[in-house]
Amino acid sequence: MTDKERMDEAIAGGLDESQRDLLRARLSALPDTVPPRAVWQRIEAQARAEGLLSGTRFRQSSKWLAGAAIAAAVAIVVLRLPFTAGPAIDTQSFGTEPPLAEMQNNNGLHAVNALMVQSQRLERNLRALPGQPSVMRAGTAATIYELEAGIAAIDSRLNHSEDSLTQEQAEIYWRERVRLMDSLVRLRYAQAQRVSF
């Protein structure tokens, strides 16, 4: 047996040619899976937020953005609650913040939409992580609680003040929500890593 034959046999993993053909045929015959319908809506929303689409179909609810009225100055204070001391987690591997230049190039509405999409993506990432362990460090538990409380406060503000927020205020809220969600996901991810090892 030549070297090439030995190598070919090794690659074949003990399968002869007909078995390999059969395996390929069976693999190719596996049926495709249809994705959930909602995925296209998410894609369209993100694409519009990034300004990738032309056309007049605009599905985002802009009611609460158009109804800019009272400046929720008090609410902004909420955004500065003590969430700045995030957990020490590697920040290089996530990249969840939108590129600054990209955000500056968009107008305010696009920026808000992009932040909303980003927030949804972080929510999905969070859901994809394993559940919280039954036992966790007190410091971790406290930080998670603070992050969740901050997100809840912002959600409450957004839900109950949607007609009274200016576009700029809405952007601030959504940006802060993304930041807190990002911290929460990082923390939960690090927690999951610790549990798995």
- The residue (of 110 and 121) whose beta carbon lies closer to another protein is 121
| 88 contacts another protein (rule: CB under 8 A) | no
| 31 contacts another protein (rule: CB under 8 A) | yes
Please select the residue that binds another protein; options are 83, 173, 174, 189, rule is CB under 8 A.
Answer: 189
| 27 contacts another protein (rule: CB under 8 A) | yes
| 32 contacts another protein (rule: CB under 8 A) | yes
| 121 contacts another protein (rule: CB under 8 A) | yes
Spatial distance between the Cα atoms of 164 and 169, rounded to a whole number of angstroms: 9
| 36 contacts another protein (rule: CB under 8 A) | yes
Which among 53-61, 65-73, 155-163, 168-176 is the span making contact with another protein, rule CB under 8 A?
Answer: 53-61
- The residue (of 113 and 125) whose beta carbon lies closer to another protein is 125
Q: How far is the CB of 140 from another protein (least distance, A)?
A: 18
**Side chain identity at residue 124, one-letter code:** R
Spatial distance between the Cα atoms of 175 and 97, rounded to a whole number of angstroms: 9
- The residue (of 27 and 138) whose beta carbon lies closer to another protein is 27
| 13 contacts another protein (rule: CB under 8 A) | yes
| 53 contacts another protein (rule: CB under 8 A) | yes
